[in-house]
Amino acid sequence: MKTMAAEILNEYGPYPGVDNVHGVTFDGNHVWFASGDRINAIDPDSGAAVRSLDAAAYAGTAFDGQHLYQIAENRIDKIDPATGRVLASIPGPAGGGESGLAWAEGTLWVGEYQGRKIHQVDPETGKILRTIESNRFVTGVTWVDGDLWHGTWQDDKGDVRHIDPSTGEVLEVLEMPAGIGVSGLESDGAGRFFCGGGSDGKLRAIRRPERVS
Amino acid sequence: MDALIAAAARALATGDILGALKRVALRDDGPALALRGIAMAQLGDLARSKALLKSAARAFGPKEAVARARCSVAEAEIAFVSRELSWPLATLAAARATLEQRGDRINAIHALHLEVRRMLLLGQLDEAEQRLGAPAPAPIPPALTAAHHMIVAGIAMRRLQAAPARAALAQAHQAARQAGIGALVAEVETASAILEAPAARLIAGGKERLLRIDDVETLLASDALIIDANRNLVRSTETIIALAARPVLFALVRTLAEAWPHDVTRETLLIRAFGARHADESHRARLRVEIGRLRAALRPLANIVATKRGFALKPRRKCEVIVLAPPVEERHANVLALLADGEAWSSSALAIALGASARTVQRALEELSASGKAQSFGRGRALRWITPPLPAFPTILLLPGPLPGG
């Protein structure tokens, strides 16, 4: 396992009306983040708030190339990002204990916070396909280049870690500075991760390390 | 933090207590216990709330400093609203420092508000104002903005400064509405009603009228000779003569002032000051002695001259004489009048000020407390009494909010 300090490239916010950043996702142009009663889109280059959708948005957010998925209490809503309309809902796999959400390989990956687990879920039915155990409270979840990464936040410490999806083994850890937690997590498909800061109302971009082979 | 905790915290922050409880009622992890504790406090079940917050702090463990600090702040608030002012201030200050350090500005500001409200309750107006400082830079949630302006209004009301109090309440009202918390809007409206209600009764030249706080402020700034029956003192511009510890002298000067510019008969003075039904020679002798004492006490501001029928008050300067009385004079009005100065009184201090026995004062306080007109806090020798209409305060406990894992 390789441990290093996270390199913060950029800090965004806090934005007006946002006390809390929950889930984070990226649609190729904009970073979206959940803040309780809204999903907000910002431009990651300028940091400018672009638009927002009214929605119950209490934890993880994901994007499948076309729709947003948003954890709202004990269900996961599928939302049209153009209109904000909820197109479908599936029950969450942890009955309200869900935290992070990612889209990869045609399925949803749901972090269960207190349970220290990540569930792979069928996006149509909500059926749990398999479960990966972690040893830390799981917050955000993301896939990039076939690697599974998740955020943690426990005992006032946060980090972003790369794990082996088949065994749960921790391969790399990027430690956040003291007192900064990670709520949501998303990669931009390239050299950056976007991390929600939870109660500090901020969003941070950190550098993704070179791939270990 | 997980979705249900986030949803429950948000429900609490917007005043939806039952919505918050519905989401976490059956959970026993740290964040859920803390949220349940705060919800119970808002529902008024302070005992249950204290127990829940204590178990939440235990569930969090020593490493989760921020979550524990939030529990401390919530416990301090419960102690404050139940007027247990012996709650350790150092714990609150330490919790506030932790929250500030870890970037939880919102709960740090809430902790600061608690410290300042405690100062205001104890009548430490200058310290409260200094400690409160300017409003925190935006963005802060409107509920906190409302709380800030409520404190500013409270300080101004205690200083009888109507215009700044009104301006602060208007800002508080706007922020409370923006927060969308019904209970908070109602508290601001109650405070506004207190500000606009008659604050005193003016008695001059045989006539009476009710005064609002603005009128009292104007009156105190005028050069009139004011006999203030709220605090049992005589004042004119800068000079203040306290008679709180000398009730007989105060009763005499008040009777003389109410008749001014005319004189008052000896019989009337005897009845008002001593409660004597008929005046005999010994009463007359005592009246002469007390008038002599009053004359000495009032020397800088006024003289008392003997007339054919009795006595008359003569201000040193050419000015009006005005009696400022409580809006309603009721049973134990003297105790209420002393408490109305906004200080926290011990019952022994009240007894000395009123020239009454400790037992009499105790009985009066118990009666006033039963009818909600006086409140006590502290225990034993530290027990203190106040009148409730501090402008009502937003006793909206903040959520311990975004808990670790937020």
Rounded to 10 deg, the angle between the B30-42 and B17-24 helix axes is: 150
Contacting residues for B212 by C-beta, under 8 A, at least 6 apart: B162, B196, B197, B198, B199
Query: Is the CB of residue B137 less than 8 Å away from at least one CB of chain A?
Result: no
User: Which residues of chain B neighbour A15 with C-beta distances below 8 Å?
Assistant: 139
| Mean pLDDT computed over A153-160 | 86
What would the DSSP string read from start to end of B196-249? HS--EEEEETTEEEEE-HHHHHHHHHSS-EEEETTTTEEEETTEEEE-TT-HHH
What type of residue is B102?
R
- Asked if the Cβ–Cβ distance from B3 to A153 is below 8 Å, we say no
Query: Is the CB of residue B401 less than 8 Å away from at least one CB of chain A?
Result: yes
| ipTM surpasses 0.95 | no
Query: Is the CB of residue B101 less than 8 Å away from at least one CB of chain A?
Result: yes
CB B147 within 8 A of CB B135: no
| Mean pLDDT computed over B252-279 | 85
State percent of chain B over pLDDT 90. Answer: 19
Q: What are phi and psi of A21, to 5 degrees?
A: -105, 120
Smallest CA-to-CA distance from A124 within A89, A148, A159, A86 is with: A89
Query: Residue B399: what pLDDT?
Result: 45
- Between the two ends of chain B, the Cα-to-Cα distance in Å is 4
CB B187 within 8 A of CB B81: no
For residue B46, what is the enclosing H or E element? Answer: helix B46-60
Secondary structure in 3-state letters for B152-172 = HHHHHHHCCCHHHHHHHHHHH
Helix/strand/coil for B286:
helix
Rounded to 10 deg, the angle between the B65-81 and B46-60 helix axes is: 170
- Asked if the Cβ–Cβ distance from A59 to B106 is below 8 Å, we say no
Rounded to 10 deg, the angle between the B65-81 and B105-121 helix axes is: 30
Contacting residues for B366 by C-beta, under 8 A, at least 6 apart: none
Q: Which residue has the higher pLDDT, B86 or A47?
A: A47
Say which of B10, B139, B405 has its CB closest to residue A154: B405
Give the model's confidence band at B389: pLDDT under 50 very low, under 70 low, under 90 confident, else very high: low
Q: And the tokens for B26?
A: 């059956």
**Which residue from B minimizes the CA distance to A98?**
B2
Q: Which residues, listed in sequence order, are joined to residue A186 by a DSSP beta bridge?
A: A194
| Mean pLDDT computed over B148-155 | 91
Q: Does the pLDDT of residue B93 top 90, yes or no?
A: yes
Supply angle C-alpha B326, B330, B335, rounded to 5.
Answer: 70
Smallest CA-to-CA distance from A17 within B264, B139, B136 is with: B139
CB B243 within 8 A of CB B249: yes
Sign of the torsion formed by the C-alpha atoms of B244, B247, B253 and B258? positive
State percent of chain B over pLDDT 70. Answer: 91
C-beta pairs of A160-167 under 8 Å, 24+ apart in sequence: A160/A6, A160/A185, A160/A193, A160/A195, A160/A206, A161/A136, A163/A132, A163/A134, A165/A132
Give the model's confidence band at B208: pLDDT under 50 very low, under 70 low, under 90 confident, else very high: confident
| Mean pLDDT computed over A139-163 | 89
Query: Residue B388: what pLDDT?
Result: 64
Say which of B4, B64, B103 has its CB closest to residue A73: B4
Measured between alpha carbons, how far is B401 from A156 in angstroms, rounded to an integer?
14
| Mean pLDDT computed over B158-171 | 90
Query: Residue B391: what pLDDT?
Result: 46
Q: Does the pLDDT of residue B404 top 60, yes or no?
A: no
CB B233 within 8 A of CB B240: yes
Contact map slice: B 25-84 vs A, CB within 8 A: 29, 61, 63-66
Give the model's confidence band at B405: pLDDT under 50 very low, under 70 low, under 90 confident, else very high: very low
Smallest CA-to-CA distance from B258 within B208, B197, B187, B292 is with: B208
- Asked if the Cβ–Cβ distance from B103 to A199 is below 8 Å, we say yes
Give the model's confidence band at B401: pLDDT under 50 very low, under 70 low, under 90 confident, else very high: very low
Smallest CA-to-CA distance from B333 within B241, B231, B191 is with: B231
Q: Does the pLDDT of residue B21 top 90, yes or no?
A: no
Q: Does the pLDDT of residue B392 top 60, yes or no?
A: no
- Asked if the Cβ–Cβ distance from A179 to B102 is below 8 Å, we say yes
Q: Does the pLDDT of residue B396 top 80, yes or no?
A: no
- Asked if the Cβ–Cβ distance from A36 to B10 is below 8 Å, we say yes
B307-362 pLDDT per residue, tens: 998 899 998 888 889 998 877 777 787 788 777 666 678 888 788 777 778 898 99
User: Which residues of chain B neighbour A183 with C-beta distances below 8 Å?
Assistant: 1, 405-406
**Which residue from B minimizes the CA distance to A195?**
B406
Q: Which of A3-12, A55-64, B209-218 has the lowest mean pLDDT?
A: B209-218
B27-75 pLDDT per residue, tens: 888 888 988 888 888 777 778 888 998 899 888 877 788 888 988 898 8
CB B126 within 8 A of CB B159: no
- Asked if the Cβ–Cβ distance from A58 to B139 is below 8 Å, we say no
Interface contacts A/B by beta carbons within 8 Å: 107
Give the model's confidence band at B402: pLDDT under 50 very low, under 70 low, under 90 confident, else very high: very low
User: What 8-state DSSP symbol labels residue A126?
Assistant: -
Q: Which of A138-147, A177-186, B132-141, B215-224 has the lowest mean pLDDT?
A: B132-141
User: Which residues of chain B neighbour A17 with C-beta distances below 8 Å?
Assistant: 139
- Asked if the Cβ–Cβ distance from B406 to A37 is below 8 Å, we say no
Query: Is the CB of residue B404 less than 8 Å away from at least one CB of chain A?
Result: yes
Strand order in the sheet with B302-306: B264-265, B310-315, B302-306
Say which of B6, B101, B103 has its CB closest to residue A59: B6
Helix/strand/coil for A1:
coil
